[in-house]
Amino acid sequence: MNRSLLLGLLAAAGTLPIGLAAAHLGPAPNRSVDHGQAAAPTPALLESPNVAAVVDAAKAFLGTLTDEQRHTAQIDLSRRLAARWSNFPGGSNLRNGVFFRDLKAPQVYAAMKVARLALGEEGFARFQEIRAADDVLGNLEGKRGPGRRGPGGGPPGGDGPGGPPPGGGPFEDADANKDGRLSKDEAPDFLRDQFAEIDADKDGFISREEDRAFMRRRAPGGPGGPFGGPGGPGGGPGGPFGGPGGGYGAANYMIAILGQPSTTTPWLLQFGGHHLAFNIYYRGTAAAATPYFLAVEPTTWTDESGKAHGPLAPMKDAMAGLLRSLTPEQVSKARLNRRFNDVYVGPGRDGKFPAREGVPVSELSDASKAFVKRAIAAWTADNAQAESYRRLYEADLDGTTVSFSGTTTLEARGDYVRIDGPRVWIEFASQGGVVVRDQVHYHTIWRDRLTDYGAEFSF
């Protein structure tokens, strides 16, 4: 990423003119679907097990918003707007939706319920971890000079992992009697069905420590709990609010709904921010989970409690293991004759898949094939259709290739690897650090050649 370009984008990024008071709404605005550019024929989508629950949660989230917030969060489903996402920090000039930093605690709770249902536990865990990594960047940037933070942002060198931002955070807002713990009546709806499990000491209340411990137990990689995850060096909350320093921070992530949440008509759910772009398309009881962009800087870190984090370690380890397992002849066949600074089919490059290159998976050893399957499983795990995607892509392995550029360690700037099948497309790119400049950082993308954005549009 070009440093001067990044700084220019940050300078240009503005805040959204969004009201902050929650209100009950009347009839929903008329949000249309642009069918004029729909692709035909439409490939079959995979059935999703919990569409109705996601729809209900999305409607409930919209119901917490003011008219002005809803006008920003809910927009038309169109080719142009669906493709509007980025890997740069910043906001409304780069992607759709409303910032978490501009939402009150009940609104954030509602948004988190949508995320957890749409992504599943593993996907929600990674979502929280990527945002926590951005808080680390925000804290590092804040130490280098004055940083900008949203209304929920914690101070540089704040209260440590999950520490409350000035003026109170989501946990404090829910804690009506200010006793430092949540009763079942105080807990937000999405926690109540798991209240007994979170309440480890069975005293009838959830403490901050119990919330964090629960989330660490439930998900590899240790995400921040619903009320704020681990901060980076110097503290800073990693949950819904927080993140000082430029355009970095968990609070600078967004949620958007394109179209009307429905179990019959098409709509698109987007979560976006600096190092994350989730595009989950729904049509009836079926869904599509791509494009799915995921990146992280720093690649690993240790929070103030001593817990290590590496949200993309499963992806990196699977790809590096795959490359290590190749024979010299296979390495030669898999090597691309050009270098890559980033993923090739990233933001703004929908549909621009190149010709298939590399070594066929059909020629690989069983050990190498196991790494291919492991890599596919790592990227497809973060949605409600994970098992269906894995079966679909594994059935196509004989038509799939592996290619790479740079070294096989994936630890040097310019290292790159790709899995390319009849449907599956996965890229992993290692590039120079932007904030943590003495380290690399990772960009990745998973696409489905046939059903990106649910095949609603042609590119």
Distance CA 231, CA 350 (A): 34
Q: Which of 142-146, 164-168, 213-217, 407-411 has the lowest mean pLDDT?
A: 164-168
pTM score:
0.73
| pLDDT confidence of residue 41 | 61
| pLDDT confidence of residue 2 | 43
- Mean pLDDT rounded to a whole number for the chain: 81
Higher pLDDT, 30 or 88: 88
- Which residues lie below 8 Å from residue 75, measured CB to CB, with a gap of 6+? 31, 81, 96, 256, 257, 258
| pLDDT confidence of residue 300 | 96
Rounded mean pLDDT, 437-452: 96
Rounded mean pLDDT, 103-126: 97
| pLDDT confidence of residue 193 | 56
| pLDDT confidence of residue 144 | 61
Is 90 exceeded by the pLDDT of residue 321?
A: yes
Dump pLDDT digits (tens) for 37-89.
Answer: 444 466 789 999 999 999 999 999 999 999 999 999 999 999 999 999 999 88
Q: Do 421 and 380 contact (CB within 8 A), yes or no?
A: no
Is 50 exceeded by the pLDDT of residue 245?
A: no
Rounded mean pLDDT, 273-282: 97
Rounded mean pLDDT, 324-331: 98
| pLDDT confidence of residue 1 | 46
Dump pLDDT digits (tens) for 169-199.
Answer: 445 556 777 788 888 877 754 455 568 878 8
Name the band, by pLDDT with cuts 50, 70 and 90, for residue 341: confident
Question: Nearest 5 degrees, angle CA 164-CA 269-CA 395?
Answer: 115
CA distances from 394 to 130, 421, 423 (A): 27, 10, 10
Rounded mean pLDDT, 12-32: 32
| pLDDT confidence of residue 197 | 79
Q: Do 16 and 227 contact (CB within 8 A), yes or no?
A: no
Q: Do 106 and 241 contact (CB within 8 A), yes or no?
A: no
Instruction: Report phi then psi at 15, rounded to 5.
Output: -95, 155
**Residue 222, both tokens:** 């240790």
Mean pLDDT is highest, among 139-143, 205-209, 342-346, for 342-346
Cα end-to-end distance, the chain, whole Å: 25
Distance CA 85, CA 1 (A): 16
HEC per residue, the chain? CCHHHHHHHHHHCCCCCCCCCCCCCCCCCCCCECCCCCCCCCCCCEECCCHHHHHHHHHHHHHCCCHHHHHHHEECECHHHHCCCCCCCCCCCCCCCEEHHHCCHHHHHHHHHHHHHHHHHHHHHHHHHHHHHHHHHHHHHHHHCCCCCCCCCCCCCCCCCCCCCCCCCHHHHHCCCCCCEECCCCCCHHHHCCHHHHCCCCCCCEEHHHHHHHHHHHCCCCCCECCECCCECCECCCCCCCCCCCCCCHHHCEEEEECCCCCCCCEEEEEEECCEEEEEEEECCEEECCCEEEEECCCCEECCCCCEECCCHHHHHHHHHHHHHCCHHHHHHHECCCCCCCCCCCCCCCCCCCCCCCEEHHHCCHHHHHHHHHHHHHHHCCCCCHHHHHHHHHCCHHHCEEEEECCCCCCCCCCEEEEECCCEEEEEEEEECCCCCCCEEEEEEEEECCCHHHHCCCC
| pLDDT confidence of residue 246 | 53
Q: What percent of the chain stands above pLDDT 90?
A: 63
Is 90 exceeded by the pLDDT of residue 420?
A: yes
Q: Do 408 and 320 contact (CB within 8 A), yes or no?
A: yes
Dump pLDDT digits (tens) for 248-262.
Answer: 999 999 999 999 999
Distance CA 404, CA 185 (A): 54
Is 60 exceeded by the pLDDT of residue 318?
A: yes
Name the band, by pLDDT with cuts 50, 70 and 90, for residue 353: very high
**Residue 158, both tokens:** 């704040």
Residue 273's nearest CA partner among 296, 257, 290, 289 is 296
Question: Nearest 5 degrees, angle CA 218-CA 277-CA 440?
Answer: 85
Distance CA 76, CA 36 (A): 13
